[in-house]
Chains A and B, each alone.
Chain A
Amino acid sequence: MKRAALALYYGAISLSFGLPWLLYLARRIAVDHERPLDAVRSLRLVLFGPGENLFLIAVLNAVPFLTFALAALLHLGTAGAGVARRRLWGLAGAGLAILFLNGWLLIRYFFDPSHAALAPLALPFTTVALPLGYGLGRLAAQKVPPVSLY
C-alpha cells in the first residue's frame, strides 16, 4: 500500500498544476495547430497574461487535488492491512470524482471559452465531491470481491 499511497500523493500533486497546463497545450496543438515547442513557449507567456492567467487557474485547480494528496498520504499511508483495500477503493473514488469534475470544467473552459468563461471559478469547490467519491469507492469495495495479485 505504500507504493499506492505515494503514487496517489505525487500523482495528485502533479495534476494539481499540470492538468490545466496539459489541457491548454492540447488545445494549442489540436485546435490552433501550433507546433508543440511554440505551444510550450506560449504557455509560459500566458501563465500571467492578461485575460488568460493560467497560473491562477492552476492554483484554483490545486485546491481539491492537494486536499486529495494529503488525504492519500495520511489516510492510506497509515492504513493497516485490514483496512487498506477499502481505503484504497475510497480514495480511488474520490480521485476519480475530482479528476472527472475538474477535467470537465477545464475542457469546457479551454475548448469552448465563449460559453464557459467562468468555469475556473468552480474549480476549488469540487473539493466537496471528495467525500462523496470516497463513500462511493468504499461502497464499491464492498461489492467487488478481493482479488489477489500474487
Chain B
Amino acid sequence: MSTREILGHLAVLPALLGLGALFFIHETGPAAIPRLLATLDSPRRAEREIATGRLGQMGRAAASAAPALAAVALRDLDSSAAYALGEIDLDGARDLARRVIPLLGHASVETRRKTVSLLGGLGAAAKIATPALLRALEDSDKLVRMHAVSALARIGIPRTAIVPALIGALDDPDSSVRYQAGTAFDFSMPANSQLEAARSAPARPRDPAAEGRIAAWKSRAEQAIRDDRDVEVHIYLLTRSRPTDLLLTVLRSAGAKEERIHPLHELAKIGPRAVKALPAVVAVLGDENPFLRYLACEVVAAIGAAAKEALPALEPLSRDASPAVRESATGAVAAVQGARP
C-alpha cells in the first residue's frame, strides 16, 4: 500500500472517534432530554427506570424535565421518577412530597407502600414529610413500616426526630423492619465482623440467635451515634482535601459543587458536632445552587446555638427565590437563636 493510501485509511479512525464524541455529547446533554421524556411513557418498567435514572444523573441541567417527572411520579407513585426529581428540582420535589403526604392515610395498603417509597426517593427535599413518615412507623402493614424506615434514613433530617425513631424501629415486632433499621445506621457506623454477621443473618421472627445479633447491633448503633465518630470523614468529603487543610481548601474550592450535596447532607445528620465544619458550610450558604443553600441551612439548624457566626449569611436567605431555602433558613435562624424550628 502506498503512503497516501495508508494515510487515507488512517484518517477514517479520528473521523469515527470524532463521530463517537459527538454522539456522546448528543446523548448525554440536554439534547437527549426529549427522547428520555418520551421513554417515561414506555410500557416497560425497566426502560422507564433507565430514563428517569439518566435524567436524575443530569441533575439541574435537566430542569426542563422536572414537571414531567413530577407528573409521572404523582400518576404512578413512581419512586424512580421521584428519585430523579429529587436530584433535579428542590422545590418541585418538595411540592410533590407535600401533595402525596395525604396518601399515607389511604385505605389501600399498596398506595401507602408506594407513597412511603416515593417520599424516600425524594431524599432530603422531602424533609417536610418527616412527621408523616414517623407516623407511618405505626402502620399496621409491615412493608409500609419497613419502607418508612428506609425513607426516613434517606431523608435523614431533622436528625433529632429521625435518629430516635430509627433506634425505636430496632424494636419493631417484625424482623424485616428491625433489619431495615439496622442497615439504616450504615451511614454512621464503620463495618466490622459483628455488623456483617448481623447483616447476613436470616431475618427470622423470634430466632434467639438473630435477636441476639440485632441487640448487639442496636447497642453499637447507639454508641456510634453518641460518639458521632464519622464527623471527620464528612468534613473531609465536604472539602475534598486533607483534614488538616479543611477550611482553607473549601474557601478556595470552586468546581464540582454537586459533589458537596452528599457531604452536606451527611453533616446535617451529624448534629452539633458538625460545628467543626461551620466556616465551610457558611461559605456554601451563598452558593447559586438552591440545593446546596438548602442543605447548608439544614447543617446550621442541626448545629444549633453554636452556629451564631452563620446568622449574617442566613439573613438574606429569608428572601430567597426558593421556598424550600426560605423555610429552611427560617428554621435555621430559629435553631441558632434557641427556638426550635
A residues at B contact (CB < 8 Å) = 2, 5-6, 9, 13, 17, 38, 41-42, 44-52, 55, 66, 69-70, 73-74, 77-78
Contact = CB atoms under 8 A, between A and B. Distances in A.
B242 to A, nearest CB: 28
B51 to A, nearest CB: 7
A48 B20 contact: no
Given A5-B1, A6-B9, A66-B13, A45 B51 contact: yes
B191 interface: no
Contacts of B20: 17
Nearest to B1: A77
Contacts of B53: 49-51
A147 B154 CA distance: 69
What is the interface residue range for chain B against chain A?
20 to 34
Interface in B8-64: 9-10, 12-13, 16, 20, 24, 27-28, 39, 44, 46-47, 50-51, 53-54, 56-57
Contact of A50 (B10, B44, B54): B54
B1 A49 contact: no
Contact of A48 (B10, B13, B28): B28
B256 interface: no
A13 B16 CA distance: 9
A46 B28 CA distance: 11
Nearest to A41: B47
Given A13-B16, A42-B50, A70-B13, 16 more contacts: A2-B1, A41-B47, A45-B39, A45-B47, A45-B51, A45-B54, A48-B54, A49-B53, A50-B53, A50-B57, A55-B27, A73-B10, A74-B6, A77-B5, A77-B6, A78-B1
5 contacts: A5-B1, A47-B27, A48-B24, A77-B6, A77-B9
A69 B50 contact: no
B9 A9 contact: yes
Contact of A49 (B10, B16, B54): B54
Contacts of B50: 42, 45-46, 49-50, 52
A69 B9 CA distance: 11
A91 to B, nearest CB: 14
A38 B20 CA distance: 23
A69 B5 CA distance: 15
A53 to B, nearest CB: 10
Contacts of A47: 27
A26 B12 CA distance: 28
A45 B47 CA distance: 7
Given A42-B47, A50-B50, A73 B28 contact: no
Contacts of A6: 9
A49 B36 CA distance: 11
Query: Among the interface residues A13, A46, A49, A55, which one has the most CB atoms of the partner chain B within 10 A?
Result: A49
A47 B53 CA distance: 13
Nearest to A42: B47
A29 to B, nearest CB: 15
Nearest to A51: B53
B275 to A, nearest CB: 35
A139 B20 CA distance: 37
Contacts of B54: 45, 48-50
A55 B1 contact: no
